[in-house]
Structure 1
Amino acid sequence: MAYAVVAHYRCAPADEATVRAALLKARESTRAEPANLLYEVHAVADEPGGFLLYERYTDVAGFEAHKASGHFEELIVETVWPLLSDRAVTFAEVL
């Protein structure tokens, strides 16, 4: 059964370009992972500094491998997360 992740990120408008660039770079690397089925980055239309990520993996192990990757550490943990004012993540099994 596939595994989905929906993340809502919010940063200050001044940090939006940095966060956007890191998320788009992460998208490139993540899409090359063997267990990744989909990785979409969206800018929230009515919320400056708001982003929505939708990710799908073959299974939970695939997502765990993603979180253990060097690009996740560099781009998400070290670059994006410190700039966020809010972060909410939902995990789901795809039916």
Structure 2
Amino acid sequence: MAYAVVAHYRCAPADAGAVRAVLLQVREHTRAEPANEAYEVHAVEGRSGGFLLYERYADRAGFEAHKAAGHFRRLIVDGVWPLLTERTVTFAEVL
């Protein structure tokens, strides 16, 4: 069953360019993962430093493989997360 992830990230406006650049790198790596079906990065209108990520995987195991990938740790955990002032994530099974 398909598995979806929606993440809302917010960083200081001064860090928005750096976060955006890294998220676009992550997008390219993630789209190459076998279980990834979609990975979209959005800038939130009217919210400087606000980003919305929509991810879809073939199943939860595919998402778990994504989290275990080296690029996830290097770019997201070590690169993006330290720059965030706010982060919320919703996980859902696609009906």
TM (normalized to structure 2)? 0.99
Deviation string, structure 1 residues 33-68 (Cα, Å, up to 9, x no partner): 000000000000110000000000000000000000
The equivalent residue for 2:90 is 90
After superposition, where does 1:10-49 map in structure 2 within 5 Å?
10-49=10-49
Tell me the CA shift for residue 87 of structure 1. 0.1
Aligned partners of 1:19 and 1:73: how far apart in 2? Answer: 15
The runs of 5 or more residues in structure 1 that have no matched partner are none
The equivalent residue for 2:80 is 80
Q: How many residues align?
A: 95
Tell me the CA shift for residue 31 of structure 1. 0.0
Tell me the CA shift for residue 76 of structure 1. 0.3
SS of aligned partner of 2:5 = strand
Q: Structure 1: which 4+ aligned runs deviate by more than 2 Å?
A: none
Cα RMSD, aligned residues only: 0.3
